[in-house]
Chain A
């Protein structure tokens, strides 16, 4: 994710002007009504910044689409109704930007159904975006362990899992699941993923924190 200042420096004049307008619309929407009321807005009446959300890559460059979409969500203080609509009606790239921003919005655990949906997907970009800080804060232990296992199955690098070391430390049940998975692989004559050993080491009660990748 690129911060606003860096984005401004990288974008051309037209793109910057487009972003200014889009963020102003989002801020206007945030100021227009209290969150509690906005949650009641009908799904047909999308505020204008939500249309900008879809077009972000075309106006600011595909490489900045995630960052611009994330800025829009934060600027609009997007309520659950908005993030749900943008996720459910979004392309894979739009969904990913929602998932990557959830922890920056004031949603409590109400957006968990979106994370759970992404964790059911086979699109590894969605799986990777789903195991970010929001999942680290809100997924219950069972769902979180399955998310880690899903990463290993779909070859999403576990570096994508936010606060992996924190949550894995002392997790005997996760260690058992990993051991079983390793045994299954070995029985099938297939290699055990390197990442599995990494996570297994982290389940020790006193494991040292592992570096995680910054999105």
Chain B
């Protein structure tokens, strides 16, 4: 079984997690830039974080046979802090980097005017760079937030098939799929969304344009949730091919729109560009 986790914050995880993920079948992941749990007070903190997502973290992942890509953005929460908003001006120089496969996470947190501005500006940046966008839907007032998000996307220059709406649940899945965007589900160890409810959603909505992620970070989370969804799908009667579509081919198709996915994992051979040790999902 080959697994692509399309949304996981490895910066907050240990190398033991990388090993366990590899053992569970994870061969590729996307790490979106997000809030760190502790507010940042200057753009320079973001730049060091972006550098880690472009350098150190892919190196760590490669040591465990996992292909690492990232999405970069000013996150919705910190878009409200004027000390952080200059990050928007610096993003263009980061969005040209090889392993950046989308702009994200963007979207709404508290639905403020500052968030309106950051969301619209970053959807435009995605359109300018030929990149998809990973759009987080708010945890509070989710359905209203989703409708407002979809309106902003409609007004943007980014086509809906270049947008992944994330953190969806039973109440938001229909509006999200009707919009023409891809639908992402974050599976958590608590009640927000679990693997059995995910299986029910897949039974009702099919396996097309649906992505499942662990969204694991520094909070209560589980980097093996993708595998647990795969196992629950098989137990519920889905085929191996269905599992492969949701947990591998769909994320590859979505992020592949960037033209920048490199699923060959390069060994961290210090003397050379690297030798291919495996093809994703072998």
Contacts and interface: CB of A to CB of B under 8 A. Distances in A.
Interface of A: 46, 51, 54-55, 57-58, 62-63, 65-66, 89, 91-95, 121-125, 127-128, 154-157, 159-160, 213, 215
Contact of A58 (B47, B59, B98, B268): B98
A100 B270 CA distance: 12
Contacts of B271: 128, 156-157, 159-160, 213, 215
B54 A91 contact: yes
A53 to B, nearest CB: 9
Contacts, number: 61
Contacts of A159: 271
B55 interface: yes
A14 to B, nearest CB: 14
A91 B270 contact: no
A185 B97 CA distance: 41
Contact of A160 (B55, B58, B270): B270
Given A128-B270, A160-B271, A122 B98 contact: no
A205 B269 CA distance: 32
Contacts of B282: none
A54 B96 contact: yes
> Range of interface residues on chain B?
20 to 34
A121 B94 CA distance: 21
Contact of B56 (A62, A123, A128): A123
B46 to A, nearest CB: 13
Contact of B55 (A46, A51, A123): A123
Most buried by A among B94, B98, B268: B98
Contacts of A122: 56
Nearest to A96: B273
A137 B232 CA distance: 60
A93 B97 CA distance: 10
Given A125-B59, A159-B271, A62 B96 contact: no
Interface in B57-79: 58-59
A123 to B, nearest CB: 5
A65 B260 contact: no
Contact of A92 (B47, B54, B259): B54
A154 B271 CA distance: 13
Nearest to B55: A92
Contacts of B221: none
Nearest to B97: A91
Given A91-B55, A92-B58, A62 B262 contact: yes
17 contacts: A51-B96, A54-B96, A57-B98, A58-B260, A89-B47, A91-B55, A91-B98, A91-B99, A92-B56, A93-B98, A95-B55, A124-B268, A125-B269, A128-B270, A157-B270, A160-B271, A215-B271
A200 B233 CA distance: 58
A54 B58 contact: no
B273 A156 contact: no
B223 to A, nearest CB: 22
Nearest to B47: A89
Contacts of A91: 54-55, 97-99
A128 to B, nearest CB: 4
A55 B96 contact: yes
A153 B54 CA distance: 24
Contacts of A154: 270
Interface string B83-106: 000000000011011110000000
A128 B54 CA distance: 18
A92 B262 CA distance: 15
A157 B272 CA distance: 11
Given A66-B273, A92-B58, 9 more contacts: A55-B96, A57-B98, A62-B98, A62-B273, A91-B55, A123-B56, A124-B59, A124-B268, A128-B270
A127 B269 CA distance: 11
A2 to B, nearest CB: 11
